[in-house]
Every structure is written in C-alpha cells, then in structure tokens.
Chains A and B, each alone.
Chain A
Amino acid sequence: MNLLSVCINHHTAPVDVRESLFLQTDETKIFIKDIKEKYLKEGLVISTCNRTEIYGLPVDQNITSQDIQNFLLDYKLKSGLDSEFFHHFISKNAVEHLFSVASGIDSLLIGDNQIFKQVKESMEIAEEMHFSGFLMKRIFDAAIRVGKRAITETEISEGAVTVSYAAVQLIEKIFSTLNKKSALIIGTGETGEIAAKHLRDKGIGRLALTNRTFEKAEKLANELNTAVFPFDSFKEHLYKFDIVISATSSDNLIINKQNIEAAMKKRNYASMVLMDIAIPRDIDPESSKIDYVFYHDIDSLNIIVEQNLEKRKAEIPKVKAIIDEEVANFFNWYNSLEAAPTIKTLRDHFEAIRNEEVEKNINKFSESDREKVDIITKRIINKILHHPTVELKKNSESGTSQDESALKISVLRELFGIDSNSRKEE
C-alpha cells in the first residue's frame, strides 16, 4: 500500500516551528481542496498545537512524501524551513504512526484524550471534503477502534496529568461531591481560568472569582456565570468557601495564617482546601498546620502529576500490543484484496454451496442421473464465475491502479460475504 505520511510534531520541532505550520479548521479545508487536486486522491490532515500531520494516497506513483512536505511549506510560506523538523512514514509505518497518535501514546502528555477527539474531528473534515476514500475510511475506522480500545482496555488515560486536574483530583479525595461545595478562585490568569473551568465541569455548587484587575475577573465571571468579589475585600468572605484556589502573579503572600485561622473559626472548623498553584506562593504554607485545613502548593500537586505520568508510561506496552494487533488486522484485510487468492476463495465458496445442495438433494435423482447432476451443476458454477474471474485477472495485470483493483475486490468479497465466511471458518 502506498500510504504516505509527513509529520511535524513535538518530537521533531520546537513550538515556534510547530506554530508556524498550524492549520486552522478553515485553512485545513482549503489545504485539502488544493492538495487533492495535485498530490493526494484521499487522505487525512491533523493539525493541533503539538502537531501537523498529513496522510494520504498519492494520485500517481511518482509522487513522494517530500512533494507533500514541500507543498505544505509552500502553502504556509515557510519554504526555507529545515527538513530535519519532519518525519516521513510510508505504508505500514504510516498506519502504525497514525494509530499511535490516535491512542495518545505519541502525545506530549501521554494518554491525552484530547488528541483522540482531534483525530476524530480531522476525519470528519476529511469526510466533509470528500477526501476519505475506500482505503482511508478503513484506516479511520481502525484508528478510532485503536483509540477506543486504548481508553477502555488500558489505563493510558487514567489519573490527572496537569496541575489543575491534579488539584481537582485531590479535592475529590477530601469532598465526596462538589455540587454542595463552594469555591473561590483568586487570580483569573490562564491557570486560574483553567482551574475555574475544571471545577465548573465537575459540577461545583457555587463558584466565585476575584482578581486584582476587577474587569478581568468580571469578564471570566460573565463567561462562567459566577460571582465576583473585589480583590480588596475577598478575605472577609474566605470563610464562605470550602475550596480556595490561588493563582496570582503576586510577589508576596496574599493570605496569611491568621486569615485562615479566622475563616476556620467562622466555619466551625469545617474542612477547607487551599490550593496554592501560584509561583511564588500566595498562601502562607504554615496554614497547613491548622486542623481540617488541607493546604497544597504546586510541588505537592506535581507529585500527583508525576505519579500518574509514570503509571501511564507503564501502560504503553499494552497500548502498543493493541496497535500491533490492529495493524496486523488491517494488513490481513488489505492483503486479502489481491486477485489470485480472491478468485480461489470465490470458487471455493461457490463450490461449497453447490456441493451442499447436491448432497442434500441427490437422493431425489435416480442412480444413473446422479453423475449428470454433478457435472451440470459444476458447469453452471463455472459459467457464472467465468466473467468475474476474467475481470479480476484483468485487474491484477499492470496498468490498473492497485487501489482501484483493491476497491473492486473488496466490494466483491463483501457482496458474497467471503470475509465473514472465512472468519467463521477461522
């Protein structure tokens, strides 16, 4: 199979290079339209912040993966970019690489679920742009199956691998459900925003924000439909919150131990979680000494992240075994699309039917007629199969496109149920 693949990702290129080749959804569609006319008859384009990868079957044998790379560089006006930033894969290696990407083991954050969704979205774009032909569709199905199996059969996506998620995981070890709890996010920069969104996704009962620049907090509050406290007075409200996540860029502590002690007294020492994910820290670490105060900073959250990443790494061999199995299945199917074995299987299939029917009905004929019945039925089968056999042989001869021939054979096998029959026999 002449599947070509050109990839630039976090293994091969720094972020600025990856960024320069990133294709937005609309851009991807135009790119597909252009490349379809010149180089690839069917394929797939995956573009995320960590990777831009192009897979496809060339319109003719002379087109190489280098041509596709050059096309991408020209398209993004980056023709001077070094070739060492790219990886090229062909045939089995290309399929294997796509499966690795879909399963998440090739991701920056091993087992990242996000990439599986992105691969599926890329496949939908390919379908929409009529860029997914008979072979690519089969590869897409297998890739999706790999992604799903990796998630369900292994623990490759288990556990939090970002600080924000680790904070939520830790909070869930203290409180049983979040829908009756309240949380305050101090600082609405990128980290604070992610933490707020995670809590909202987890169904937090009440969420409030505070930020030195009130307008910024207000903007996020509108987006998340939450309350906002002025930065100057938020400490007076600390006791109302079961969870406080602080992620400001302040150079000094903004909450001291006395603030927490006062809040705890007002709360009658109901458990309170303090997540200090700022560098330098925002909350006095001495607060951890107060009963029922669970104080954690970025170092302690990183312990959880590291542990989970190690666990995910240990799952890679299991995912690789799934990939190997699916690659083998795919190529078993693909190799079955050759003409000679198909002709033989087709003939065997018809002969089996003929034989079964003759045996079932042979007693209805006189002894002298039985031989004739056998000969006549064989002749009928031969005549029925004559034309398809000639056509298949023609397909295997040079001059006919390999993929076109594979398509015809695939349709034939499917129509006569040859694949399912041979699987049953296995």
Chain B
Amino acid sequence: MNSLVDFLNNFLPLLYIITFAVYFYDFIKENKRMANYKRLFLFSTLLIHLIYLLLRTAEFDHPPITNVFEIFTILAFSVSFSYFILELVTDIRGTGPFIIIISIIFQIISSIFIEDLVEVKEVLRNHLLGSHVFTALLGYSGFTISAVYGFLYLILYKDIKLNKFGLIFNRMPSLEVLERLSYLSAIIGFILLTIAMTIGVTWLPKAFPDFSYSDPKLVSSLIVWLLYGIGILSKVLGKWKGKKVVVLSIIGFVMAIMSTIISNFLANSFHSFY
C-alpha cells in the first residue's frame, strides 16, 4: 500500500495541473461544452486526493497533520474542495484557474518534501487535536479563497477604471459579486479559525507540557484572527468597503500562510512536531 501512497503523492500535482489546464483553457476560450467537463476533472482530482489522504492515514496510523508538508496537502485539498462547493452553489465558473493554482502550489511543495513518518507523538493521534487542525485548515482555505477573490476584485476594478475590456472583464462576475465572495469566504474562515483557536486555547495547555502563550504560531494566529475580525467588523459597521476590505483580506492570507510556515520551522515552538 505504501507504493500506492507514494504513487498518488507523485501523481496528485500532475492531476491538479491537468485540472488547472482544463479550467484555464475554458477561461481563455469559454467553450460551453467544456464547462461541465472541467467540473468532472475537478471532482475526479478531489476524489483521488481524498483516497490518498485516507490511505495515508491508514498506512501511517495517524491523520496527515503532523508536519507542514502534510498540512499543505490537506490545504491543497480543502482549497479546491471549497471552490468546488462554491462553484456548485453559485454557478460562477470563471474564477476556477485562479484558485486551483493555489492548490497546485501547496500540493507540489507537499509532494516534494513530505516524509513517511510512522512514529509520531501519541498526542498527534488525539481527536481533539484533529478537530483543532482541521478547523484551522478549513479556516485557512476560507482565507485563501477570500484572498483570491479579493485579488481578482482589484484586477477587475483597475481594468474597468482603465477601460481594459479583456479576458478578466469578459470572464469575471461583477465587482459586487467578487467583493461578496471574498467577504463571505473571510467570514467562514474567521468562524472556523475562531473554533480552532478556542479548541486550541482550552485543550492544548493540558495536552502539551511545554505549552506557552507566547508561542509564535499562537501569536501569529491571534494577529491573523484580529486582522480579519477588524476587517469584518468595519465592513459590518459600514466603515470600510471595496478595496480596503479586500486588501486587508489579502494581507491576512499572506500572514496566515507565513505564520504556518515560520512556526513550523521554529525549533522553540511546541507546534513543531518533527
């Protein structure tokens, strides 16, 4: 089974690249027939990715959350999965390539550096830790999608202002829709991160003897949480809108990713497990 896990690990980046190519081709050509095929490609990729994650969990006897590269493959999956659900619900199909490319980046990094760890700390097999990590990752997926829509909002805003009526203008939904999608994704991300942090703060001190409130991952997550909290509150109160909110979302996303990477490589963090 190990060889199958290895094969899927190498095969997944290729699958995401093919799915991206199909989505990108449709973005350029806007072929009506292609529209449904591309969804099938994404579904197949996600199904194979899910099988890979389950096989990996069974093979190594722990969920793939023990190091940053395992987390990246889950992030790749959850970003594309969230987009898949979003596409089904909203039927907005032109934004796929911009989100799938994020999954490609996460999956390539994961596939290259991931290690087959059989021996992990017992605490990493705990269900509460699983809930903590999965809600945090889904939250980060929300932030990722929010940032992508925020980025597309800025491009479309600029294009319309400068009378550039190219592919982005023709394929994107309206500015209002992009802003709304970015905002809703941020809210979902914020709620999930809040849950993850609540589990973390209440349970982790008991589970980890070296738990510290000054842990870099904890501090950076708190900053990200505050940043999104301020952005969402400003939007709710009607103080901020449009560009300001989406720029904040992009900054929040960069900080969230940076905090994951940095804290996992810092030796003095209890969040580093290998």
Is A296 on the interface with B (CB-CB < 8 A)? yes
User: Given A270-B241, A292-B242, A176–B163 Cβ distance below 8 Å?
Assistant: no
Is B165 on the interface with A (CB-CB < 8 A)? yes
Give Cα A296–Cα B177 distance, bound, in whole angstroms.
21
Q: Could you tell me if A174 and B175 are in contact, using CB atoms closer than 8 angstroms?
A: yes
The residue that B243 contacts in the complex, of A175, A268, A291, A300, with Cβ under 8 A, is A291
Binding site for A on B (CB under 8 A): 156, 160-161, 163, 165, 169, 172-177, 180, 238, 241-243
The residue that A173 contacts in the complex, of B160, B180, B238, B241, with Cβ under 8 A, is B160
In the complex, which residue of chain A has the Cβ closest to the Cβ of B30?
A155
Would you give the shortest CB distance from B33 to chain A, in whole angstroms? Answer: 11
What are some 22 contacts across the A-B interface (CB < 8 A)? A170-B160, A172-B174, A173-B156, A173-B169, A173-B172, A173-B175, A174-B174, A175-B174, A175-B175, A175-B176, A176-B177, A176-B180, A271-B175, A271-B176, A288-B161, A294-B160, A294-B161, A296-B163, A300-B163, A303-B163, A304-B165, A307-B165
Would you give the shortest CB distance from B175 to chain A, in whole angstroms? Answer: 5
The 9 residue pairs across chains A and B that have the minimum distance between CB atoms? A176-B176, A300-B163, A176-B174, A176-B177, A174-B175, A173-B174, A175-B176, A304-B165, A303-B165
Those of A160-204 within 8 Å (CB) of chain B: 170, 172-176
Query: Interface residue count for A (Cβ, 8 Å)?
Result: 19
Is A269 on the interface with B (CB-CB < 8 A)? yes
In the complex, which residue of chain A has the Cβ closest to the Cβ of B178?
A176
Binding site for B on A (CB under 8 A): 170, 172-176, 268-271, 288, 291-292, 294, 296, 300, 303-304, 307
In the complex, which residue of chain A has the Cβ closest to the Cβ of B180?
A176
Contacts of B156 in A (CB 8 A): 173
Contacts of B241 in A (CB 8 A): 269-270
Give Cα A174–Cα B163 distance, bound, in whole angstroms.
13
Would you give the shortest CB distance from B172 to chain A, in whole angstroms? Answer: 8
Would you give the shortest CB distance from A130 to chain B, in whole angstroms? Answer: 41
Give Cα A271–Cα B180 distance, bound, in whole angstroms.
14
Contacts of A288 in B (CB 8 A): 161
Q: Which of B169, B172, B238: most chain A CB closer than 10 A?
A: B169
Contacts of A296 in B (CB 8 A): 163
